[in-house]
Amino acid sequence: MTTQPHSNARRETVRAAHPYQKAQMSKSQAFVQVVIFILLDATGSMAAAIEGAKRALVRMVEILMASRVVPTLGLIIFRDETYGERPIVLRLGSSAEEICESLKRTKADGGGDEKESSLLAVRCGLEQLQHAEPGAKKIILLITDAPPHDPETDCNGCVVTARVVQEALADQQVLFFACTPAIEPYKTFANVTGGTLFPLQKDMDADTFKDLLVDVAHQTVITVRHSGPVIDADALDLLKSPDKRS
């Protein structure tokens, strides 16, 4: 499903209290385990959003922890691999401090043409999520203002398409959250996995983007508490059927 475009009327203030010690609570205390892989487009057009992401992550973790959700985190900073711009990957289990430090060092640049390597980033995130503990709720959060290359060939010569990524999301029962334009394939990824798309505008400033990530955190808490499967068997069979589109 999609939400209505976000207003910048509301502002959140990041509290001085540091949440990271709370992240060490025992599994027995946790309401639910959540594994979140953040995929951040760091091309030139994303400068304002990246600044918002740097300011929002602490607040995002605070919200998850206050809701007795224990997040295990990973981060991929990507650009456009068709121009030789390789991603930076912080593997699953990286601390929030490590992720914040990586974000602080990140500058928005490069990118080549309008389309970016979003599909390769999602696939990389899915590979990392295969190492999540059994029973954990798995989430990919994609942040980009651009459509993906579809198809795109990776550095090993493998062709990645939106259809392949969609089926992998379903197979692994991964919730797909997106701060992206309300375009395909992002809308379909969110719909078929039970995730949410939060429309991202190219002119969105850092404060508005920070507020948007706070909304993502709240929606994550709401979504992961449901007890049913991410996607039912009939929908999964439909996704795996041959693509009959022309």
Q: Which helix (H) or strand (E) holds 139?
A: strand 137-143
pTM above 0.75, yes or no: yes
Other CB atoms within 10 Å distance of the CB of residue 156:
5
Region 111-135: mean pLDDT is 92
Contacts 24+ apart (CB under 8 A), 229-237: 229/173, 230/173, 230/174, 230/175, 230/193, 230/194, 231/170, 231/173, 231/192, 231/193, 231/194, 235/170, 235/192, 236/170, 236/171
Region 16-40: mean pLDDT is 58
pLDDT at 92: 93
pLDDT at 4: 43
Give per-residue pLDDT as tens, 193-205: 999 999 987 777 8
Paired residues of 90 in beta bridges: 75
Task: Report the top-level CATH class of 39-240.
Answer: alpha beta
Q: Where are the domains of the chain?
A: 39-240
Q: Which helix (H) or strand (E) holds 160?
A: strand 159-160
- Residue at token pair 């939106």: 162
CA distances (Å), origin 209, targets 25, 51, 59, 120, 137? 29, 9, 12, 24, 25
pLDDT at 31: 60
Other CB atoms within 10 Å distance of the CB of residue 105:
10
Give per-residue pLDDT as tens, 131-147: 998 888 999 999 999 99
Give per-residue pLDDT as tens, 46-104: 887 887 877 777 778 777 777 777 789 999 999 999 999 999 999 999 987 888 788 88
